[in-house]
Structure 1
């Protein structure tokens, strides 16, 4: 062999050796990663699991935002923006019907409230400071400039003349969570509006149209409070307007006594180990539902506040006691509407179960026909229905051609109000006469889906909060 040929051969062997070394190095890295396993499959406690971002763009509304839960592994962080709210809720739940047997047993063993190792928290009241000219008023057409720098309830637009179908006032609601399954707006019997923005609850007087102040979650032991995990998922005023119940995304249930002079906390309960998705009062009792399907009944006055419980297989997205406190209705993510009796310490089997094609998120008992209840369908369904809870049958329905996100009854005018998503993002007032539903008003002004509705005590005003981070006031 010639020297030149020998040199060329050695060079090829050396190059092959380098290539072999790289392949071997790459193979070892892959094998090591596969042995360790992905972090997403590690079973985590539900109350402390990673919280996804719920800021969806408008295109995602056409996805299955109200579909039942799916059996799949939590997606990486970069995929959460393209998922629907239902799958995000599954990620929040983390475990449940599709977790391993061992993890399920551990979770059931931890169902009781845990208080020993939980940092003490409390809600700090901050009164609003009203200075001359501090209200920020925006002219019509400046909606594109809305940012989170705006103060809550800052005036964005005020109508000089009341026009049918147009809001009389538009207020800022910065950082309002764009989540189909949350319940973040309520009006008390005294006309006090409670609106949850992030981890704070703002109180606004609908009669004086002034911001009263806000409640903010604080950590009393000096530990930093995670902003996303402590964000509010639901709130509800008591029937007398003195107590405000607040549920958070990490499962804490906060009951705050609304006292004009004292403004003090009544109780702090660590009740659920998952997102508190719905709340409802029955006199002095407050009922809460979680995305894992647990219903807890609390008496804040008792030494042991948890006085009753019930379980269903599917996650809850709505919960409401009937006007006479005779029945409790719970709506699930897979379209089941359950009616429970008033015995919170009994066997707790539902007395009636009804089914619709999509999640039962928008739901409300009829105030003047107390055995009737209305439900709204999501993007797959888009149907407004009124059910007879005794027979379990649908007595009437109407196709709305849009996602129904929220629903309220107006007793004095005998009307039903619904808030919608795509395609128009509007509010509809319905007249229910005999066995027919007919729309009487179409209220337009939101640029994104209307997530929450509330009515003032005399039924003359509608408050609607949308994913466009605006709060509209409408005259009936």
Structure 2
């Protein structure tokens, strides 16, 4: 039915009658009645193929292939919870006190949304047991490119365990090529957690069996926005903390396959996590550090802020100091007095290096010593004394340092490198000397993440080449 400029009604189709006009009047009246009751109004449905950004598991072109510096001020796919303030407002032109007040407001809002949000993970995240590895993977001479690569599927095995040769190479598809993420960790029980996209896979390093993985349910919405940005095992190996690009943190009891807690501590990407006994600290892309006690009804027990984005975070072995690395090349050392939400304290020490402080780690047997690795503009491996705030020794690697781990039982320092070598290096450190002893080659792209098994006999590495390697140390 149409109307001309005079208001007269016309029925352009044959057989159309006043009955259709009555039907339209009823439909229009119902819409008006719903508006009066403040109910939902019918609208044109959205096109199903454009409701969210495509998952990067299927869109490798949209992956962030950035190097460590300069950092990106706005990251694609950053999720912001509806109705909450956006952390993006903190980027420019705010004083320190204004920034702290907004951080406190953000944490308060997140705490208020927690009771309603804690029920969400029961519907969004599910535990899926491991599937049987295909038999054709153990056959020699198969074409890896023709095989639909599965996480932790065996690609090849070395006949001899030699230094510099990978013992086992496994698959790690959908590994995000992001310098600032922390997606690999090994517990004190030898359980390896590896985040691939929006899934977290659990692999037993002793039996070399895939236990299972945590995954989003099909109705969870945009998978890219909920992809994992960092993870970390608790010191006792019982809880696995998982942070997403939306600022959400989940605690999982992997042994019993249960979700222990769901926390909303940030409103943007959580890049780093670190445990201090039962206390969990998290750092966001905009420099906010939240200290959480998952046992409390209101888990937030303290906050801190730095002007630069957090890309690494780690408590010292004794829990006396907290180190935070920034995208602007600053290493901050904080004391353990983190209680309260006013953030009156400042870092006890700040040192600067030419590139982002992403690769970072405390020395287990020298509590005041911390090592940092430089990015592609720097390439320097440095050992710092936090008591004197000085660099004890350094070594030039002529390569981007993406990851760093201390092997306490071997008294080694292990680094993972990017451009141009894509290798893993183990070092021996004495107070005034730092010397490489082994170099492991086999990755075809930068080695983003490192972990070691409990007895420090093996190194686990994964990189942007979608492979997971095991090396004998």
**TM interval, short-chain normalised:** 0.7 to 0.9
Count of residues paired in the alignment: 401
Q: What is the rounded CA distance, in whole Å, between the counterparts of 1:141 and 1:419 in structure 2?
A: 29
Q: What's the CA shift for 1:93?
A: 6.6
- Cα displacement (A) at 1:228: 0.1
Contact 1:140 1:157 in 2 (8 A): no
Question: Contact between 1:135 and 1:155, CA under 8 Å: does it hold in 2?
Answer: no
Structure 2 Cα separation of the partners of residues 100 and 376 of structure 1: 30
Equivalent of 2:253 in 253, 257, 273? 257
Measured against aligned partners, the alpha-carbon deviations of 1:14-73 in whole angstroms (never above 9, x if no partner) come to xxxxxxxxxxxxxxxxxxxxxxxxxxxxxxxxxxx979969888xx97x7x2124466x8
Displacement of 1:423 in angstroms is 1.1
Return the offset for 1:124.
1.6
- Corresponding residue for residue 409 of structure 1: 406
Q: Mind listing any 5+ residue stretches in structure 1 that lack a counterpart?
A: 1-48, 78-91
Aligned in 2, Cα 1:305/1:471: closer, same or farther, shift over 3 Å?
same
Alignment of 1:436-455 (within 5 A): 436-455=433-452
- Return the alpha-carbon distance in structure 2 between the equivalents of residues 140 and 296 of structure 1: 50
CA RMSD of aligned residues (A): 3.0
8 Å contact kept, 2:393–2:431: no
Summarize the alignment of residues 48-127 of structure 1 with structure 2, pairs less than 5 Å apart. 65-69=67-71, 94-98=88-92, 109-112=105-108, 113=110, 114-115=113-114, 118=117, 120-122=120-122, 123-127=125-129
Question: SS at the partner of 1:168?
Answer: strand
Match of 1:383 in 2: 380
The whole-number CA distance in structure 1 between the counterparts of 2:384 and 2:168 is 34
User: Does 2:178 match 1:179?
Assistant: yes
Alpha-carbon separation, structure 2, partners of 1:74 and 1:410 = 34
TM-score normalized by the length of structure 1: 0.78
Query: Quick one: which of 256, 260, 270 aligns to 1:266?
Result: 260
Work out whether residues 55 and 223 of structure 2, in 8 Å CA contact, stay in contact via their aligned partners in 1.
Answer: no
Give the CA deviation at 1:157.
Answer: 0.8
**Match in the other structure for 2:394:** 397
Q: Which of 234, 237, 261 is matched with 1:238 structurally?
A: 234
- Contact 1:411–1:459 under 8 Å retained in 2: yes
Pairwise CA distance, 1:410: 0.4
1:449 and 1:74 map into 2 onto residues whose CA distance is: 21
> Shift of the alpha carbon at 1:424?
1.3
Mapped partners of 2:354, 2:120: distance in 1: 42
Pairwise CA distance, 1:115: 3.2
Q: Does the aligned pair in 1 maintain the 2:287–2:305 contact within 8 Å?
A: yes
Deviation at 1:330, TM superposition (A): 0.3
Does residue 351 of structure 2 align to residue 354 of structure 1?
Answer: yes
Q: State how far apart, in whole Å, the 2-side matches of 1:421 and 1:394 are.
A: 23
CA change 1:310–1:413 in 2 (3 A) is: same
SS of residue in 1 equivalent to 2:114: coil
| 8 Å contact kept, 1:231–1:248 | yes
- Displacement of 1:390 in angstroms is 1.3
* C-alpha contact (below 8 Å) 2:380/2:395 kept by paired residues: yes
Please report how far the alpha carbon of residue 125 of structure 1 lies from its aligned counterpart in structure 2 after TM superposition.
1.4
1:255-334 matches, within 5 Å, as: 255-259=251-255, 262-334=256-328
